[in-house]
Amino acid sequence: MAVIEAIATTYLEADAASVTFSSLGSYEHLQIRGGAHTDAAGAGYNAFHIRFNGDTAANYAFHYMRGYNGSNTAATAATGYSYIFCGLEPGPGGLSTAYGTAIIDILDYRNTNKNTTISYSPAIATGAGGSTEVQFGSGLWDSTAAVTSIVLTPQSGNFTRGSEFTLFGLASS
């Protein structure tokens, strides 16, 4: 077995409300790499979020810092959410052919002595004059359950055709 393996890739041939990975294998760490676009009405760009094991209760927290639109910086802290913001995606108000990028690391996802912690680094560059943003952030799922499924969902609307996510597993032996 290779140390790093692509577990699954989802390429959307049609718009979809979410993307789910439900066979995560037995690795030490997971990583998701993807690119997404949304059809959310009016959005120049928008966010997408992650949930684990179908948990939609307020068991998540996240923190991120961002540089955006050329000269702005900020950071955000949030608790009591039902998801973790972890990605960026252009919308109909932005460049139609652009897809945001995201790398999401999920460490030690099977360890039942730990809450699940992730780090993520999404980015979007929509061309001259368009909205741009780069983030680095972290997220917490306040549960020591082993992660057995992952759902990625746009903040509103759908992922549009051409959005693609690959789930990698990183072994430790």
- Smallest separation, CB 63 to another protein (Å): 5
Q: How far is the CB of 52 from another protein (least distance, A)?
A: 14
**Residues 46, 152 contacting (CB under 8 angstroms):** no
Which of residues 155 and 168 has its CB atom nearest to another protein in the complex? 168
Nearer to another protein, 40 or 84 (CB): 84
Could you give the CA distance from residue 152 to residue 147 in angstroms, rounded to a whole number?
14
Q: How far is the CB of 173 from another protein (least distance, A)?
A: 6
Match 């999920």 to its residue by tokens.
106
d(CA 139, CA 108): 14
| Residue ranges with strand state E in 13-58 | 19-21, 29-36, 45-52
DSSP 8-state class, residue 33: E
Please report how close the Cβ of residue 64 comes to another protein at its closest, in angstroms: 7
Q: Toward another protein, which CB reaches closer, 77 or 128? A: 77
Of the two residues 16 and 171, which places its CB atom closer to another protein in the complex?
171
Question: Tokens 């077995």 label which residue?
Answer: 1
Q: Say which residues have a Cβ less than 8 Å from residue 75's Cβ, sequence separation at least 6.
A: 63, 64, 65, 66
Compute the least distance from the CB of residue 118 to another protein, in Å.
Answer: 7
* Cβ–Cβ < 8 Å for 153, 48: yes
Closer of 23 and 172 to another protein (Cβ): 172
Site of interaction with another protein (CB under 8 A): 2-4, 28-29, 61-67, 73-80, 105, 107-108, 111, 113-115, 117-119, 121, 136-140, 142, 144, 170-173
